[in-house]
Amino acid sequence: MPVQWAGLSPELLLTVDRSSGEQLRAQVERQLRDAIRTGRLRVDERLPSSRELARTLGLSRGLVQDCYAQLQAEGYLVTRAGSATRVAPCAQPPAPLAPAPDAELPRLIADFRHGVPDLASFPRADWLWAIREAARRMPTADLDYGDPRGSPALRTVVAGYLRRVRAAAADPGHTLVCSGYAQGLGLTLQALARTGVRAVAHEDPGSPATATASVRAAGLTPVPVPVDAHGIDVRALDATGARAVIVTPAHQWPTGVVLAPERRHALLAWARRRDAYVIEDDYDAEFRYDKEPVGALQGLAADRVISIGTVSKSLAPALRIGWLLCPPALTAPLTELKRIADRGTPTLDQLALALLIESGRYDRRLRRMRTLYAARCKALRGALAEHAPAVRLTGLDAGFHAVAHLPGGIDEDTVIAAARARRVGLYGMSACRASPAPQPPRLVLGFGDVPERAITEGIATVADLLEGRAHTP
């Protein structure tokens, strides 16, 4: 779509070389032809007025008018009464035929993609209110680069919020705003590498693609450590020799288990004994249904735990706002790394989020989403109980995903492919393991962005696949 200009003459980069020997008019005509032929100027795109182009190039207006008239005669330009000079519809050669697009993929009945909240329920009205209020209230000084740690207003509000709802030992001076979990983890790993850390452990199963890629990007060695029904195996962690570990203690990804109290204390004792750090991914901890909330690990050892949180699950991934609760010894190096990376996360969005939390709209959003996800959780339980009772579900105490334990002898990949043919998106646990293995066969069923009706219809559609009753290809 050509750019539309409201009353102002658009700018156009042309040059004239008075020492070239080529006539000035010929130079202007040639450059305009080339710009149109190559697509730099598109059909119906507006040209500067003859007066403005003459002023820009230091030429007489009459010369530019003659150029426009010549190109109009050649069919490159068109002028209508009361309208600007524009590129003519037939001025550009037809574009080469594009390759035939692939057949459009059929719309899925249900896509149990994990890690995605209900995108349709994003509080647009509240966010627009917060953006408008933030823009209206922000001091002029806040339009500058500011503190790389982030807006003092947001850091203060986030620290207070985390103390209140996550029992964190949060201090605004040691809170750093980042652009989502990925950046927060990357900055943390770089800071740890500067302290002499060489190997970083991560949970298995977990997020091997994210963890491994981030660890290696920081020049460190990733080490998988097994997870059981009580969380990460601290004895196995101790045997690795790693001096940092990435964990999801409140709601382990993807198994859904909670790090047991004795494991919490053992993990922190390991960190102190090894002069190590725990990187806490506070993954969807806001959404708990059947059990009491679990406090942040960081609240027990602020000097040994770097806690990373975001609004990607509570609001939407597109906002790209997160935070680090930094141990005092790492605050300065993390701040410097953030400054080098991007000078700071967008301030207006930070101020809007601060207002959203301060006004109570954020808490109201969380309460609404807990009810929504609890209903979807119930729908998933009911659909499996009715259509595939042989499939056991675990990990449903919090968040918006569950683990489906398929009967033995079923092949994950075969079930996933057959379900896709029936327009249902399923995803296997093997992708979450450091060494992908199809056994035992399990699926990670995300229901955050799947309406209740679609959950029921999707499970009914693939029930025979889940129980191994279908003859899959």
The least confident of 317-331, 355-369, 435-449 is: 435-449
CATH number at residue 66: 1.10.10.10
Does 319 lie in the same domain as 270? yes
Task: Return the pLDDT at 210.
Answer: 84
Please give the mean pLDDT across all residues of the chain.
91
Tell me: pLDDT of 357 over 90. yes
- pLDDT tens-digit profile of 87-142? 998 766 666 656 655 556 679 999 999 999 999 999 999 999 999 999 999 999 99
- pLDDT tens-digit profile of 23-49? 999 999 999 999 999 889 988 899 999
Task: Please give the share of the chain, as a percent, with pLDDT higher than 70.
Answer: 92
* pTM, entire model: 0.86
Does 80 lie in the same domain as 64? yes
Q: How far apart are CA 249 and CA 210, in angstroms?
A: 17
Does 140 lie in the same domain as 66? no
What is the pairing mode between strands 424-425 and 442-446?
unpaired
**261-to-244, 294, 326 alpha-carbon distances in Å:** 20, 10, 23
Residue written as token pair 């964190």: 168
CB 407 within 8 Å of CB 389: no
Task: Return the pLDDT at 104.
Answer: 63
The least confident of 99-108, 168-177, 223-232, 259-268 is: 99-108
In a domain, 11, yes or no: no
CATH number at residue 327: 3.40.640.10
Give, rounded to a whole angstrom, the gap between the first and last alpha carbons of the chain.
Answer: 46
**Tokens read off for 98:** 């594009």
Does 416 lie in the same domain as 281? no
CB 149 within 8 Å of CB 177: yes
Does 82 lie in the same domain as 192? no
Domain count, the chain: 3
Does 369 lie in the same domain as 334? no
Tell me: pLDDT of 303 over 60. yes
Q: How far apart are CA 120 and CA 315, in angstroms?
A: 11
Tell me 288's DSSP state. Answer: B
Average pLDDT over residues 261-278: 97
Any residues with CB less than 8 A from the CB of 166 and at least 6 apart, and which?
282, 285, 295, 296, 299, 309
Tell me: pLDDT of 5 over 60. no
**What is the phi/psi pair of residue 280, to 5°?**
-95, 115
Average pLDDT over residues 269-281: 97
Average pLDDT over residues 284-303: 81
Q: Final residue of a domain: which of 320, 341, 359?
A: 359
Of residues 399 and 164, more confidently modeled: 164
Query: What residues make up the domain containing 418?
Result: 110-116+365-466
CATH number at residue 377: 3.90.1150.10
Does 275 lie in the same domain as 243? yes
Average pLDDT over residues 229-238: 96
Query: Residue 435 — pLDDT band, cuts 50, 70, 90?
Result: confident
Task: Return the pLDDT at 473.
Answer: 47
In a domain, 4, yes or no: no
In a domain, 3, yes or no: no
Does 143 lie in the same domain as 188? yes
In a domain, 97, yes or no: no
Q: How many residues does the chain have?
A: 473
Q: Final residue of a domain: which of 359, 383, 418?
A: 359
Task: Return the pLDDT at 287.
Answer: 76
In a domain, 92, yes or no: no
In a domain, 227, yes or no: yes
Sign of CA dihedral 381, 385, 387, 391: positive
In a domain, 14, yes or no: no
**Would you tell me the crossing angle of helices 347-358 and 361-387 to the nearest 10 degrees?**
80
Tell me 136's DSSP state. Answer: H
Q: How far apart are CA 203 and CA 434, in angstroms?
A: 9
**What is the phi/psi pair of residue 350, to 5°?**
-60, -45
Does 256 lie in the same domain as 163? yes
Average pLDDT over residues 343-359: 97
Does 169 lie in the same domain as 49? no
Task: Return the pLDDT at 294.
Answer: 80
Average pLDDT over residues 284-293: 68
Tell me: pLDDT of 437 over 70. no
Tell me: pLDDT of 258 over 80. yes
Q: Final residue of a domain: which of 341, 359, 377?
A: 359
Does 281 lie in the same domain as 189? yes
In a domain, 15, yes or no: no
Does 245 lie in the same domain as 183? yes
